[in-house]
Amino acid sequence: MVTYPTIREGVSQLKGSELVRSNISVAKVIRTIIAKSLGPFGSKKFLVDSMKYYKVSGDGASMLEKMSLWHPIANILIKLATTQKDVVGDGSISTVVLASALLERAEKLLDERIHPSVIIKGYNRALKKTLSILDEIAEEIEYNDREVLKKVAYTTLSTKLGTKASSILSDITLDVFDKIRDKRETNWIANINLVHFIQKPGGSINDSISVRGMVMDERRIHPDMPKRIKHAKIAVLRSPLEFSKLDHHPPTVRGKIVMDDIDLIKPFIEAKPQLFRGWVNKIKNAGANVVFCEKRIDEMIGDLLARTGIMTITLYRWAAKDKHITRVARACGANLARIDELEEKDLGYADLAEEREFGDSKMIILEGCKNPRAASIIIRGISSEIMEDAERAVLDALHAKASLFKCNKIVAGGGAIEAELKKRLTMFSRGFGGKEQFAIQAFANAMLCIPRELVRNTGLNPYDVLPSLTKEHQKSNNIWYGYDAFTRKISNMMNVGIITPLEISKTILKGACETAISILRIDDMLNLKKERKEEIPENASGRAMQLPGFLSAEHLPEFKDYKQKYTVF
Ligand SMILES: Nc1ncnc2c1ncn2[C@@H]1O[C@H](COP(=O)(O)OP(=O)(O)OP(=O)(O)O)[C@@H](O)[C@H]1O
Ligand SMILES: [Mg+2]
C-alpha cells in the first residue's frame, strides 16, 4: 500500500500493480455471482430492494443493473452487460464472465512479472485473430430459413424458460418476426418497436399467443356498443370527450359565474348535451365507426355514441398511455386528432375491431391493420415476475433474430465456438516469440470459461468434461462440438439446434476483451475536485468529514482511527 500524497493526511490508496490486482479481484467477485446464472441450468437470483420488494430474475443485465454495487470496476462491468443487451439483445452474462476470465488470466501473467502493456498488446492481437477465425468458420444462412430462425430464438429462450414454453414462444417469435421484418432496397430490417406486449395474469406461459395487429387490455366503454366491427374506420383522439376539463377551450378560461335568474341557468344546462351531440356528429360525418380516445369520456357522450353504433374505447387507464395511443395510431395509420378538428383523412383502418374474451377477461383487438407490420404478443403467466421474465426473453429472442440482418452467419453454442477458438488461438500463439506468446495463450485459455461454467451449472465437474471437449476439437471436422446441458454429453451443437448469431458472438468477445484491456490500463485513481461545495452535516463533536467517493472505511483498514474520529458517510 502506498501513501498517496494528493489525498488528505492519513488516507492511503492503492496504485500501480496493486490497484490492478485489486480491480481484478472485484471482477472475479462479480463473475462468481453472475456465472451461476449462465446457460439453461443457470440459477435465478432473488433481487430484494430496501423496501423488501422482491423480484426473481435470471437475466444477466437486469441482475447487475439492480444490484447495489459501489466499486467503479463493478460499474464498468454493469455497463458492459447493459451495452451488450442494448446492442444485440443477448449474451450479457457471457461477456461479463469472459471479461473477468481474461482479467484472471492476466493476473497470472502479472505474477510472472509480465508488464500490463505486453498483456494488452497480446490481447489485442488475439482479439483481431479471433474475429477473423469467427468470420472464417461461421456458417452462412438464408434470411428466410425459418428452421434456423426458430433455433436461434429457442437457444435464447431456453436459458430463461422451460423447454415447452421456449418451444411455444419461439414459434410465436417466428410468427411475429415475419410480420415486422421488411426489405428496404437490398437490406432487411426488423423494427422491434412495432411489437406490442400485453401481460395477462392467469393460465401458464404456454397459453401465450401472438396476434396480427394491436391488442389492448381494454374494453368498450358502454355495453350497448357493437362488440365486433368489420372494416373498422378508426378515429384516434388526443382530446377528452368530456365537458368538465374544458380542454377544448384555451387554458386561460377559468372563472365563477353567479346568476340571480333561474332562466339564465337553462342555456348552461343545455350546453353540455348540445356540445356532445355536435361531437358525435363530427365523428359520424368523418365516417368513423370506432373511436380510441386517450383521455376521459363522459358517460353522456358514451350513451350517445352507443346509440349511434360507434365502438368507443378510452386508453385513459393505461400507465404509458402516450406511448400506446401513438402505437394505435401508427398501427392503423390514423392521425392523432382533436375532436374539433377531426376529418375523414385522419381516420385509420383495420379489417376487424373486436372485443374478445380471454379466459375471464376481455381485450380489444385490431386485426389486419393498415400497417401490416403491427404485431402483438399476449404473455400469460401466474405472476407478474414470470410474465416480465418471459417478455424480456421474447424481446431478447427477437433482437437475436434481428442481429442476423447485420450478418447472416451463425456459430454453435454450448461452448463449441469457445473450444474451437481456444484450439486455433493456441496454434496462433506459437507463431510468436517472446512474452506476447504467453498473453495470446492466456487469451486462448480464457475462452474455456464459458463451457466450464455451463458444465458446472449442470452439477458436473468441469474437469470430467472439458478434456473430452478439447479432445473432440483436435479432430478437424468437429468444430461444432460442445456441451449439451440437457443430455450432459459432448455433441454436435449445430445438430442439437443450439446456435447463436455470429454478430452476438463477436459483440461478446469484443466487449469482453476491450473491457478487460481498459481495466488493465488503470493504474491509478485520482480524486476529482468537487463541482459544488456539498453541505456536510456535523457530528456530535462538531467535526465531520466526507471520504472520497470511491473509498469506504471498510476497504481501508487504515481508516479505522479516522472512522472513530470523524463521521464517515
Ligand atoms: N442446451 C444447451 N446446452 C448447452 N449450452 C447451452 C444450451 N442452451 C444455451 N446454451 C448456452 O448458454 C449460453 C447462454 O446462456 P444465458 O442466456 O444464460 O447467458 P447470456 O446469453 O450470456 O446472458 P443473458 O441471456 O442473461 O443476456 C450460451 O453460451 C449458449 O450457447
Ligand atoms: Mg442469453
Instruction: Check pocket membership of 116 for ligand 1, CB cut-off 6 A.
Output: no
Number of compact structural domains in the chain? 3
Q: Rounded CA gap, 569 and 563, in Å?
A: 10
Residue 23 placed within a domain: yes
Based on the fold, state whether residues 109 and 249 are members of the same structural domain.
no
Residue 69, class by beta-carbon neighbours within 10 Å (0-12 exposed, 13-18 middle, 19+ buried)?
middle
Q: With beta carbons less than 8 A apart as the criterion, state whether 95 and 64 touch.
A: no
Q: What is the pLDDT of residue 553?
A: 42
Max CA pair span of the chain: 105
The enclosing domain of 427 has a CATH number of 1.10.560.10
Based on the fold, state whether residues 558 and 494 are members of the same structural domain.
no
Based on the fold, state whether residues 365 and 422 are members of the same structural domain.
no
Name the range with the highest mean pLDDT among 96-110, 255-269, 303-317, 382-396: 96-110
Q: What is the pLDDT of residue 543?
A: 37
Interval between CA 415 and ligand 1 midpoint (Å): 9
Based on the fold, state whether residues 399 and 416 are members of the same structural domain.
no
Q: Name the average pLDDT for the chain.
A: 83
Residue 267 has pLDDT above 60, yes or no: yes
User: Which ligand sits nearest to residue 498's alpha carbon?
Assistant: 1
Based on the fold, state whether residues 324 and 295 are members of the same structural domain.
yes
pLDDT tens, position by position, 156-171:
999 988 888 899 999 9
Q: Which of 403, 438, 468 is the last residue of a domain?
A: 403
Q: With beta carbons less than 8 A apart as the criterion, state whether 442 and 86 touch.
A: no
Q: Rounded CA gap, 168 and 39, in Å?
A: 19
Look at residues 228, 455, 267 and name the one whose alpha carbon lies nearest to residue 352.
228
Interval between CA 210 and ligand 1 midpoint (Å): 25
Query: What is the number of the ligand 1 atom nearest to the C-alpha of 485?
Result: 3
Residue 414 has pLDDT above 60, yes or no: yes
Q: Which domain holds residue 268?
A: 211-403
Interval between CA 385 and ligand 1 midpoint (Å): 21
For the question of whether the overall pTM of this predicted structure is more than 0.85, the answer is: no
Instruction: Check pocket membership of 501 for ligand 1, CB cut-off 6 A.
Output: no
Higher pLDDT, 525 or 10: 525
Residue 171 placed within a domain: no
Instruction: Check pocket membership of 491 for ligand 1, CB cut-off 6 A.
Output: no
Based on the fold, state whether residues 234 and 360 are members of the same structural domain.
yes
Neighbours of 251 (CB within 10 A): 7
Instruction: Check pocket membership of 388 for ligand 1, CB cut-off 6 A.
Output: no
Residue 198 placed within a domain: no
Query: What is the number of the ligand 1 atom nearest to the C-alpha of 412?
Result: 31
pLDDT tens, position by position, 51-93:
666 777 777 788 888 777 778 888 899 999 999 988 888 899 9
Of the candidate ranges 13-17, 131-135, 247-251, the one whose mean pLDDT is the lowest: 247-251
The enclosing domain of 274 has a CATH number of 3.50.7.10
Residue 310 placed within a domain: yes
Angle, vertex CA 202, rays to CA 199 and CA 206, nearest 5 = 80
Residue 190 placed within a domain: no
Interval between CA 333 and ligand 2 midpoint (Å): 35
Based on the fold, state whether residues 506 and 545 are members of the same structural domain.
no
The DSSP H or E segment spanning 22 is: helix 16-34
- Average pLDDT on 186-201 reads 81
Interval between CA 57 and ligand 1 midpoint (Å): 15
Interval between CA 537 and ligand 2 midpoint (Å): 46
Look at residues 446, 334, 402 and name the one whose alpha carbon lies nearest to residue 180.
402
Q: What is the pLDDT of residue 546?
A: 40
Residue 155 placed within a domain: no
Instruction: Check pocket membership of 402 for ligand 1, CB cut-off 6 A.
Output: no
Residue 311 placed within a domain: yes
Binning pLDDT at 50, 70 and 90, where does residue 561 land?
very low
Residue 189 placed within a domain: no
Q: Which of 403, 421, 455 is the last residue of a domain?
A: 403
Which amino acid appears at position 322 of this protein?
Answer: D
Based on the fold, state whether residues 19 and 127 are members of the same structural domain.
yes
Binning pLDDT at 50, 70 and 90, where does residue 40 land?
very high
Based on the fold, state whether residues 118 and 222 are members of the same structural domain.
no
Residue 397 has pLDDT above 50, yes or no: yes
Based on the fold, state whether residues 481 and 397 are members of the same structural domain.
no
Q: What is the pLDDT of residue 411?
A: 95
Phi, psi of 489, deg, nearest 5: -130, 160
Based on the fold, state whether residues 347 and 379 are members of the same structural domain.
yes
Based on the fold, state whether residues 228 and 370 are members of the same structural domain.
yes
